[in-house]
Amino acid sequence: MSAAPVICVDGPSGAGKGTVSLRLAAALGWHLLDSGALYRVVGFACRQAGVSLDDSDAVAGVARALDVDFRPTDAGVTVWLSGDDVTSAIRSEEGGADASLVAALEPVRAALLLRQQELARLPGLIADGRDMGTVVFPDAPLKIFLTASAEARAERRFHQLQGLGESVSLARLLTDIEQRDARDQSRSISPLVPAEDAIVIDSTALTADEVLQAACELAKSRKLMS
Ligand code: DC
């Protein structure tokens, strides 16, 4: 499909996809697509424009017109919407819940498909998401499905949010994660499932370094890394 190689990193929220994707992109010198941020920006832009998240055609219109820019920094990729830095705004729990709603709308996924595929440029792309290996880059030479128990993911998110100064309850986070997983896995369009040729890594008992090491070994075995 694309001349540039793509490594897909799919899986549920909080499994560590963002961290391993960022570090893989840095290690290889490749581009990075945080597709979840695209869905988050669509939800955010709808809220700003007063567009109801139930109105799939209107939400798809917002997705098509989106003026979004991803700018890499040492601390990660920052997300800009129409010239404004919305990186922190879209990372809230509400931002995640809104993203999950708009991500279930077929016209929205269709509107974002080409935009994502166009990001596969040389020397290569690390694509972080849910349907990178199943829908967006089905011919990718390496597909990783990174998962972890819901409890481990809730705890990681808890510490992340505490670090951002947000006060949340761990029990509430676990319920939210379980509900979001159920919605992402059961939706009819692009459900969260591993591609048939994906390699599953369970990060429940692994450190971020161990996950990166496992991913690098896979990349080496596919001759994507020396
Ligand atoms: O990875 P994240 O938490 O930023 O994703 C936010 C939401 O977007 C999540 O509920 C799943 C959805 N999503 C999706 O459906 N497809 C993608 N490729 C990426 C994210």
Q: Is 10 in the pocket of ligand 1 (CB under 6 A)?
A: no
Q: pTM here?
A: 0.93
What is the residue with the minimal CA distance to atom 15 of ligand 1?
103
**pLDDT: which is higher, 72 or 162:** 162
- Structural domains in the chain, CATH included, are 6-221 (3.40.50.300)
Q: How much is the mean pLDDT over the chain?
A: 94
Ligand 1 center from residue 130 Cα (angstroms): 6
pLDDT at 41 over 90: yes
Alpha-carbon span 14 to 147, nearest angstrom = 8
pLDDT, position 8: 98
Ligand 1 center from residue 102 Cα (angstroms): 9
pLDDT, position 74: 76
pLDDT, position 188: 86
Strands annotated E in the chain: 6-10, 31-34, 68-73, 76-81, 84-85, 125-129, 142-147, 199-202
**pLDDT: which is higher, 73 or 37:** 37
Alpha-carbon span 186 to 95, nearest angstrom = 20
pLDDT, position 219: 98
Side chain identity at residue 204, one-letter code = T
Residue corresponding to tokens 């139930």: 54
pLDDT at 104 over 70: yes
Ligand 1 atom nearest to CA at 100: 10
pLDDT at 2 over 60: no
